[in-house]
């Protein structure tokens, strides 16, 4: 019997994502000047105020207020009427030195013996319903908001948009778990004030349906374009007026959008957030590594859908265990437990092995902090950083390395394909 599945996304201007982007910008700046930095930074944003707290062990010092203001400005909070503005917001930093008790469990004489920065469970997931091996509902939810942000910055076809926004997509699937159509699209976008609310709602509805949706649809493959039928139910700014938004409308916190950051409710989640953490924290690096494995296994034809779980104990380098679920879609003559054993013998899952294989000690995290950590396009970019001494460093880095299909041949060989 057909069923519905829903995922949501939030924009870069959503208060929780503002917090994530500040935390990850600070991670990048610490790693740019000292790749061995140990950092865990939480951010809170509210009306006219940013509060930073966390622990750092590093050989560098940063102009933390300026980095924070640069992030807020880039997002688009640049007007006083937003009640949260880059140049005028207060910034309180309560960042202090990392606990020596934690650090002794991570650092070792030999880097290869580095222990996990915390205990916990992490999940990686992939399926083959999109080119990015991501769940379709989440993929479309992200695309809607990425395009909405592009329209806001163009300030041409739609001129009243403000940074805060949310999306939600509901897909109808058949009994074989194949998408049949888009059932519902929800878009809530912050906007400038209008004189008349009825005209405002009509204008926003028309612009979303006639400008945003066609732009997103045009970017998709024909088989996905066919899911956009005339029967889609639209809920656009369903509460009505959405002028008050961003950190003024709702307090934002680092790590509060972990399902948006991963698989939109598909697969599993260990509960640990990513943003604000250096890669010694396996909440982050373990989740990236298991996504890399899951994606390469699906691309290699091992299964149509796969979930990979890994677990760690703080201070211990080897994982406690690896679990696999192929949801009955396996294409090889191996049980799920045998697939897990193959993964363990094929991939180095020690914290140092993951950091090295995926290049995680580079300043690559700011780009992850909005529109999902998974399903993104691997690419090389050049980034420039300035420290408190006005020294400038330019670094070429590779983003989203865990999305590379660079282990498909290795997987095929391991499974005798």
Q: Is 281 labeled as ligand-binding?
A: yes
Q: State how far the Cα of 400 lies from the Cα of 417, in Å rounded to an integer.
A: 27
Give the helix/strand (H/E) hosting 338.
helix 336-346
Are 43 and 23 within 8 A, CB to CB? yes
Q: State how far the Cα of 151 lies from the Cα of 118, in Å rounded to an integer.
A: 41
Q: Is 40 labeled as ligand-binding?
A: no
Q: Is 16 labeled as ligand-binding?
A: yes
User: In terms of C-beta density within 10 A (0-12 exposed, 13-18 middle, 19 or more buried), how is residue 226 classed?
Assistant: middle
Q: Is 273 labeled as ligand-binding?
A: yes
> How far, in Å, are 19, 87, 225, 248, 321 from residue 48 at the CA level?
13, 10, 42, 7, 45
CA 168 to chain CA centroid, Å, is 16
Q: Is 250 labeled as ligand-binding?
A: yes
Q: Is 42 labeled as ligand-binding?
A: yes
Q: Is 14 labeled as ligand-binding?
A: yes
Name residue 314's beta-bridge partners. 116
Q: Is 55 labeled as ligand-binding?
A: yes
How far apart are the two ends of the chain, measured CA to CA in Å?
Answer: 34
Q: Is 256 labeled as ligand-binding?
A: yes
Q: Is 383 labeled as ligand-binding?
A: no
Q: Is 379 labeled as ligand-binding?
A: no
Q: Is 403 labeled as ligand-binding?
A: no
Q: Is 197 labeled as ligand-binding?
A: no
Match 């009994």 to its residue by tokens.
175
Q: Is 367 labeled as ligand-binding?
A: no
> How far, in Å, are 30, 96, 159, 198 from residue 195 at the CA level?
46, 48, 15, 9
Are 17 and 6 within 8 A, CB to CB? no
DSSP structure string for 42-94: EEEEETTEEEEEEEEE-S----HHHHHHHHHHHHT---GGGT--TTT-EEEEE
Annotated binding site for Mg(2+): 16
Annotated binding site for L-methionine: 55, 98, 250, 281
Annotated binding site: 14, 16, 42, 55, 98, 164-166, 241-242, 250, 256-257, 273, 277, 281
Annotated binding site for ATP: 14, 164-166, 241-242, 250, 256-257, 273, 277
Annotated binding site for K(+): 42
């Amino acid at each position: 019997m057909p069923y519905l599945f829903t995922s949501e996304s939030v924009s870069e201007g959503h208060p929780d994502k503002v917090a994530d982007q500040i935390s990850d910008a600070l991670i990048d700046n610490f790693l740019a000047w000292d790749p061995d930095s140990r950092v865990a930074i939480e951010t809170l944003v509210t009306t006219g105020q940013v509060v930073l707290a966390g622990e750092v062990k590093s050989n560098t010092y940063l102009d933390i207020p300026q980095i924070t203001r640069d992030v807020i400005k880039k997002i688009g909070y640049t007007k006083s009427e937003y009640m949260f503005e880059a140049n005028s917001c207060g910034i309180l930093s309560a960042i202090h030195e990392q606990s020596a008790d934690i650090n002794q469990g991570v650092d070792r004489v030999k880097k290869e013996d580095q222990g996990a920065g915390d205990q916990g469970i992490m999940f990686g997931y992939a399926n083959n319903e999109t080119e990015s091996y991501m769940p379709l509902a989440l993929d479309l939810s992200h695309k809607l908001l990425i395009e909405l942000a592009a329209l806001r910055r163009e300030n041409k076809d739609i001129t009243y948009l403000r940074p805060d926004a949310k999306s939600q997509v509901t897909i109808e699937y058949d009994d074989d778990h194949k998408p049949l159509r888009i059932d519902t699209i929800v878009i809530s976008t912050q906007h400038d004030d209008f004189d008349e609310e009825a005209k405002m709602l009509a204008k926003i509805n028309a612009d979303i349906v006639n400008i945003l949706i066609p732009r997103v649809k045009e970017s998709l493959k024909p088989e996905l374009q066919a899911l956009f039928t005339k029967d889609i139910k639209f809920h656009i700014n369903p509460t009505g007026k959405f002028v008050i938004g961003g950190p003024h409308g709702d307090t934002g916190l680092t790590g509060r959008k972990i399902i948006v950051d991963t698989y939109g409710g598909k697969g599993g989640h260990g509960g640990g957030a990513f943003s604000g953490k250096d890669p010694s924290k396996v909440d982050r690096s373990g989740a990236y590594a298991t996504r890399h494995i899951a994606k390469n296994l699906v691309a290699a034809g091992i299964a149509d859908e796969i979930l990979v779980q890994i677990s760690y104990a703080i201070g211990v380098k080897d994982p406690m265990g690896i679990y696999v679920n192929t949801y009955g879609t396996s294409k090889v003559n191996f049980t799920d437990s045998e697939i897990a054993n193959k993964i363990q013998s094929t991939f180095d899952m020690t914290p140092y092995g993951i950091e090295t294989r995926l290049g995680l000690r580079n300043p690559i995290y700011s780009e992850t902090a909005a529109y999902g950590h998974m399903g993104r396009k691997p690419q090389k970019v050049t980034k420039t950083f300035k420290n408190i001494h006005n020294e400038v460093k330019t670094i070429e880095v590779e983003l989203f390395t865990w999305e590379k299909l660079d282990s498909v041949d290795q997987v095929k060989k391991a499974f005798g394909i």
